[in-house]
Structure 1
Amino acid sequence: MNGVIGEILPLAVGIAISPIPIIAAILMLFSGHAGSTSTGYLVGWVLGIVVATGLFTVVSGSVGASEQPTGVSWVKVGLGAVLMMAGLRQWRGRNEKKGQPKWMAAIDKMGFVQAFGLGFALAAVNPKNLLMAVAAGVAIGAGGLSVADDVIVIVIFTVIAASTVAVPVIAYAVAKDRMRGPLNEAKSWLDEHTAAVMAVLFLVIGAVLVGKGIGGF
Structure 2
Amino acid sequence: MLAELIPLALVVALSPLSIIPAVLILQTPRPRPTGLAFLAGWLLGLTALTAIFLAISGLLGGLGGKPPTWSSWLRIGVGAALIVFGVFRWLTRHSKPHQMPGMKHVTEAGPGKAFVVGAVLTVANPKVLFICAAAGLSIGSAGLRVGSGLIAAELLFVALAGCSVALPILAYAVSGDRLDPTLAKVKVWMEKHNGALVAGILIVIGLLVLYKGIHGL
* TM-score of the aligned structures, taking structure 1 as reference length: 0.91
The Cα of 1:51 is off from its aligned counterpart by 0.8
1:153 corresponding residue in structure 2: 153
The one-letter amino acid of 1:160's match is L
Report how far residue 130 of structure 1 moved. Answer: 1.5
- Looking at structure 1, the residues matched to 156 and 99 of structure 2 have their Cα atoms a distance apart, in angstroms, of 33
Residue 101 of structure 1 and its aligned partner are, at CA, apart by 5.1
State the shift of 1:99 in Å.
7.7
Unaligned runs of 5+ in 1: none
Query: Mean Cα displacement is larger for which, 114-123 or 23-32?
Result: 114-123
Deviation digits for residues 52-80 of structure 1 (CA, Å, limit 9, x no counterpart): 11111121123112555321111111111
- C-alpha displacement at 1:9, in angstroms? 0.8
Query: What do you get for the CA RMSD once the two structures are aligned?
Result: 1.7
Residue 126 to residue 5, structure 1, CA distance change in 2 (3 Å): same
CA positional deviation for 1:102: 5.4
The Cα shift of 1:153 comes to: 0.9
- Take 2:124 and 2:204, find their aligned partners in 1: how far apart are those partners? 22
Over the matched positions of the two proteins, sequence identity in percent amounts to 36
Q: Give the CA deviation at 1:25.
A: 0.8
Measured after TM superposition, the shift of residue 131 of structure 1 is 1.5
- SS of 1:64's equivalent in the other structure is coil
1:1-217 aligned at under 5 Å gives the runs 4-65=1-62, 67=66, 69-98=68-97, 103-146=102-145, 147-217=147-217
Look up the equivalent residue of 1:176 and give its one-letter code: G
Whole-Å Cα distance in 1 between the matches of residues 199 and 164 of structure 2? 19
CA gap of 1:101–1:72, structure 2 versus 1, over 3 A, is closer
Structure 1 position 36, deviation (Å): 2.9
Give TM-score, length-normalised by structure 2: 0.91
8 Å CA contact 1:73, 1:214 repeated in 2: yes
Q: Which amino acid aligns with 2:196?
A: A
Looking at structure 2, the residues matched to 29 and 172 of structure 1 have their Cα atoms a distance apart, in angstroms, of 8
Whether contact under 8 Å (1:90, 1:196) holds in the other structure is yes
Please give the alpha-carbon distance, in whole angstroms, between the structure 2 residues aligned to 1:86 and 1:132.
12
CA distance in 1, matches of 2:144, 2:101: 43
How far 1:203 sits from its partner (Å)? 1.0
Letter in 2 for 1:97: K
Asked if the contact 2:12/2:18 (under 8 Å) is kept, the reply is no
Q: Per-residue deviation at 1:96? A: 1.4
